[in-house]
């Protein structure tokens, strides 16, 4: 497999985005997010999905030059119209208002609509945490999850993420997880490779457990912890569609079809200033909490693997499948 | 089993609270919440726990006459000191500020500290939804859950709840769930009854799955969906302890020992005005979302069972174990 330095990987991502029709201004934060994802070891969401982004740019499904509009609902509430462009420039533009608002008032919230796949949600909440805020984020997605007892998907894998700040612009820990037992990408990649999936990942069209990845894609994803996972995904749908104004799952454009139809999903972000509420108690409590986890053999902080991967790959460079590299270079 | 009308049940609850040292002003909202819990069919949390509340009043673990203090961090952020009293009067006092703030500014948040068990969390978020707000709430609890891979509990069952408003002061649906596979009460009651528990509910002291309820109480509760459930419980701990100022799980007073030591846990509530963000799109989207669930045979809305129980028991009256009734009457 070809190896790329961090700089080469960044250039590849940026030029594939720009070469397919993204404005330079819209490409910067997004390229950084894709690179960070790849460095984190989430290779299903980095280079792999970049080829879809580029195809969507070329088919007109997403407008790489859209200029997001931020509307203030109040001094602490923001609505961001992504204009059928990428989620990333819209989130970046919203954060420019959200972060100072949360610092001034203790809490602020924003919804993003007419948006696109947020990719690794934890990248965005990490930006809030590095600004000293407790960041919570959610995004809806094309429907793949049926209500427990039902068969028809009504919500997506609908991830939530939260990032806990530590003093000095650091992140104490970060969670980024789908409402499903596994990410949809894991089933898609197994199907692409013609491989079976473990039990507990997906259900077939009849709502029965399956180990056939194709049958799982045609059916539904199993929610994590049954009805409890579904309920978390349902909250994400309420926040991102009903409140933020993204389209409900079944009304969204497809992520896998090159049909030129916008996806128009929604995102929601909440930012809390820990010290406004805790009067300085936040950092010591987080330190004690993380210490109580790290002290146990076999336990680890939620983002420990991603952090280790980031350090290792920044040093060693990134590998990429030769065919994928060729496809991405062709987009540049 | 003795049967009680709704009025008789309310009188029983109120007089047990007041008879054990709660001020009349602090008893009203709490009695309503306990009654609502019992009507919802959550009998582990209604009459059953009331006897513990009364014992805690008498042992001095909780101050039934505490007057909560609400401090405004900003026009949209509130810190509520429950003063080692019940959570309910503190939450009620905080909501008097939180609700108008969320209506005026679109979003508001509050933390409660020096607090007590919030009992059925969904009662509180339901109050927010009936006021037309999307309510999200969380409470931490004495530690019963170990990090995945570890053995020592560091967080509690740490429930979250959200309630989705419908026009006319109604609740479209409501979720109230612990971060664990089942509520701790379910294991406690099995242990009290000398009965085994199903696999998947709890782990023993060595972190191994167990069907022995006593071994489960001595060990840890299994998180729902493994690491994903733990991560949700961890977010609750960050919100309720680190941010709101409740004590971290291991530093809390015991809920089961009559040692007179305050529990001092914390709660966190967020209220969002759906129309401020959605410009009227919220109600139609929620209607479409709920319809897509209810249209499926075998699927149901999250609170469907509680609603059905509430209607049935309001009509038929409530039953109560004769010994428990005698104990509660003795507190009155």
Q: What CATH number did the domain enclosing B317 receive? A: 1.10.1530.10
The number of folded domains in chain A is: 2
Regarding whether B37 and B174 lie in a shared domain, the answer is no
Q: Name the token pair of B44.
A: 């582990």
Tell me the Cα Rg of chain A: 19
For B76, other C-beta atoms within 10 Å of its C-beta total: 28
d(CA A10, CA B295) in angstroms, rounded, equals 47
Instruction: Determine the distance in angstroms separating the CA of A228 from the nearest CA of chain B, rounded to an integer.
Output: 7
For B168, other C-beta atoms within 10 Å of its C-beta total: 7
H/E segment holding residue B318:
strand B318-319
Is residue B188 domain-resident? no
Regarding whether B78 and B18 lie in a shared domain, the answer is no
pLDDT tens, residue by residue, A44-55: 679 999 999 999
Is residue B328 domain-resident? yes
Phi then psi dihedrals of residue A162, to 5 deg: -140, 145
CB contacts of A302 in chain B (<8 Å) are 227, 231, 234
Q: Is residue A200 within 8 angstroms of chain B, CB to CB?
A: no
Regarding whether A242 and A173 lie in a shared domain, the answer is yes
Question: What is the mean predicted confidence (pLDDT) over A75-99?
Answer: 98
Q: Measured on CA atoms in the order A311, A313, A316, A317, is the torsion positive or negative?
A: negative
Q: Name the token pair of B74.
A: 């900003």
Contact B226 A224 (CB under 8 A): yes
pLDDT tens, residue by residue, B151-197: 999 999 999 999 999 999 999 999 999 999 998 888 998 999 999 99
Chain mean pLDDT for chain A: 95
Chain B residue with the nearest C-alpha to that of A303: B231
Q: Tell me which residue range forms the domain holding A266.
A: 69-180+223-295
Tell me the Cα Rg of chain B: 19
Tell me the residues of chain B between 170 and 189 that have a Cβ less than 8 Å away from chain A.
175, 177, 181
d(CA B131, CA B100) in angstroms, rounded, equals 9
Is residue A209 domain-resident? no
d(CA B75, CA A48) in angstroms, rounded, equals 45
Regarding whether B136 and B104 lie in a shared domain, the answer is yes
* Beta partners for residue A109, in sequence order: A77, A270
Chain B residue with the nearest C-alpha to that of A166: B242
Q: What is the CATH number of the domain that holds A116?
A: 3.30.1370.60
**The predicted structure's pLDDT at residue A236:** 98
What percentage of chain B has pLDDT greater than the value 90?
92
Chain mean pLDDT for chain B: 95
What percentage of chain B has pLDDT greater than the value 70?
99
**The predicted structure's pLDDT at residue B44:** 67
pLDDT tens, residue by residue, B234-254: 999 999 999 999 999 889 998
Burial environment of residue A300 by CB neighbours within 10 A (0 to 12, 13 to 18, 19 or more):
middle
Regarding whether B122 and B246 lie in a shared domain, the answer is yes
Regarding whether A326 and A229 lie in a shared domain, the answer is no
Instruction: Determine the distance in angstroms separating the CA of B82 from the nearest CA of chain A, rounded to an integer.
Output: 15
**pLDDT-based confidence at residue B255 (cuts at 50, 70, 90):** confident
Regarding whether A246 and A114 lie in a shared domain, the answer is yes
**Residue B138: is its pLDDT beyond 80?**
yes
pLDDT tens, residue by residue, A188-227: 989 999 999 999 999 999 999 999 999 999 999 999 999 9
H/E segment holding residue A267:
strand A265-272
Q: Is residue B164 within 8 angstroms of chain A, CB to CB?
A: yes
Is residue B212 domain-resident? no
Q: For residues B16 and B325, is the Cβ–Cβ distance under 8 A?
A: no
Is residue A201 domain-resident? no
Is residue B190 domain-resident? no
Q: What is this structure's pTM?
A: 0.97
Q: Is A95 helix (H, G, I), strand (E, B) or coil?
A: helix
What's the DSSP call for residue A222?
P
Q: For residues A291 and A165, is the Cβ–Cβ distance under 8 A?
A: no
DSSP character string of A39-87? HTT-TTTTHHHHHHHHHHHHHTSS-TT---EEEESSSSEEEEE-TTS-H
Q: For residues B237 and B141, is the Cβ–Cβ distance under 8 A?
A: no
DSSP H helix total and E strand total for chain B: 12, 12
Regarding whether B48 and B92 lie in a shared domain, the answer is no
For A259, other C-beta atoms within 10 Å of its C-beta total: 12
**The predicted structure's pLDDT at residue A44:** 67
Regarding whether B168 and B84 lie in a shared domain, the answer is yes
**The predicted structure's pLDDT at residue A184:** 86
Q: Name the token pair of B329.
A: 């009457």
Q: Is residue B280 within 8 angstroms of chain A, CB to CB?
A: no
Contact A177 B228 (CB under 8 A): yes
Regarding whether B155 and B96 lie in a shared domain, the answer is yes
Q: Is residue A279 within 8 angstroms of chain B, CB to CB?
A: yes
Instruction: Determine the distance in angstroms separating the CA of A179 from the nearest CA of chain B, rounded to an integer.
Output: 8
Lowest mean pLDDT among A59-68, B43-52, B235-244: B43-52
Distances (CA, A) of A32 to A35, A41, A85: 5, 15, 17
**Residue A43: is its pLDDT beyond 80?**
no
Chain A residue with the nearest C-alpha to that of B298: A149
Q: Are strands B69-72 and A107-115 parallel, antiparallel or unpaired?
A: unpaired
pLDDT tens, residue by residue, B281-326: 999 999 999 999 999 999 999 989 999 999 999 999 999 999 999 9
Contact B150 A282 (CB under 8 A): no
Give the CB-side neighbour count of residue B313, counting CA atoms within 13 A.
24
Question: What is the mean predicted confidence (pLDDT) over A74-82?
Answer: 98
Name, in order, each residue with C-beta under 8 angstroms of B8's C-beta and a sequence gap of 6 or more.
none
Mutation for A interface: B69, B73, B97, B286, most A CBs within 10 A:
B73
**pLDDT-based confidence at residue A258 (cuts at 50, 70, 90):** confident
Instruction: Determine the distance in angstroms separating the CA of B177 from the nearest CA of chain A, rounded to an integer.
Output: 7
Mutation for A interface: B72, B105, B136, most A CBs within 10 A:
B105
Regarding whether A103 and A79 lie in a shared domain, the answer is yes
Chain B residue with the nearest C-alpha to that of A110: B277
**The predicted structure's pLDDT at residue B257:** 82
CB contacts of A272 in chain B (<8 Å) are 109, 243
Regarding whether B82 and B119 lie in a shared domain, the answer is yes
Is residue A16 domain-resident? yes
Mutation for A interface: B71, B109, B129, B177, most A CBs within 10 A:
B109
Lowest mean pLDDT among A248-262, B15-29, B239-253: A248-262
How many angstroms from the chain centroid is the CA of residue A129?
16
Is residue A231 domain-resident? yes
Which long-range CB contacts under 8 A does B69-73 form with residues at least 24 apart? B70/B94, B70/B96, B70/B97, B72/B97, B73/A106, B73/A276, B73/A277
């Amino acid at each position: 497999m070809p190896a790329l330095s961090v700089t080469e990987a960044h250039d590849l991502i940026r030029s594939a985005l720009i070469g397919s029709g993204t404005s330079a201004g819209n490409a910067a934060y997004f390229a950084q997010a894709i690179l960070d994802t790849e460095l984190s070891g989430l290779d299903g969401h980095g280079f792999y999905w970049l080829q879809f982004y580029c195809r969507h740019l070329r088919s007109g499904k997403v407008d790489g030059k859209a200029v997001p509009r931020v509307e203030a609902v109040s001094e602490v509430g923001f609505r961001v119209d992504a204009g059928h462009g990428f989620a990333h420039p819209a989130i970046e533009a919203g954060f420019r208002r959200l972060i100072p608002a949360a610092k001034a008032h203790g809490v602020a919230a924003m919804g993003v609509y007419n948006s696109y796949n947020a990719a690794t949600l934890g990248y965005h909440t990490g930006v809030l945490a590095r600004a000293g805020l407790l960041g919570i984020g959610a995004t809806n997605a094309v429907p793949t999850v049926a209500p427990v007892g039902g068969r028809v998907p009504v919500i997506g894998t609908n991830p939530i993420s939260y990032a806990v700040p530590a003093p000095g612009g650091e992140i104490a820990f970060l969670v980024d997880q789908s409402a499903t037992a596994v990410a949809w990408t894991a089933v898609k990649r197994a199907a692409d490779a013609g491989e079976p999936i473990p039990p507990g990942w997906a259900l077939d069209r009849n709502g029965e457990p399956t180990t056939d990845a194709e049958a799982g894609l045609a059916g539904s994803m199993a929610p994590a912890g049954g009805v409890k996972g579904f309920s978390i995904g349902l909250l994400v749908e309420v926040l991102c569609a009903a409140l933020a104004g993204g389209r409900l799952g079944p009304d969204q454009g497809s992520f896998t079809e090159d049909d030129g139809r916008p996806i128009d999903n929604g995102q929601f972000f909440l930012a809390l200033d820990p010290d406004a509420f805790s009067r300085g108690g936040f950092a010591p409590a987080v330190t004690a909490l993380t210490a109580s986890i790290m002290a146990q053999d076999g336990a680890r902080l939620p983002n420990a693997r991603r952090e280790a991967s980031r350090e290792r790959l920044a040093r060693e460079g990134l590998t990429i499948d030769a065919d994928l590299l060729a496809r991405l270079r062709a987009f540049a």
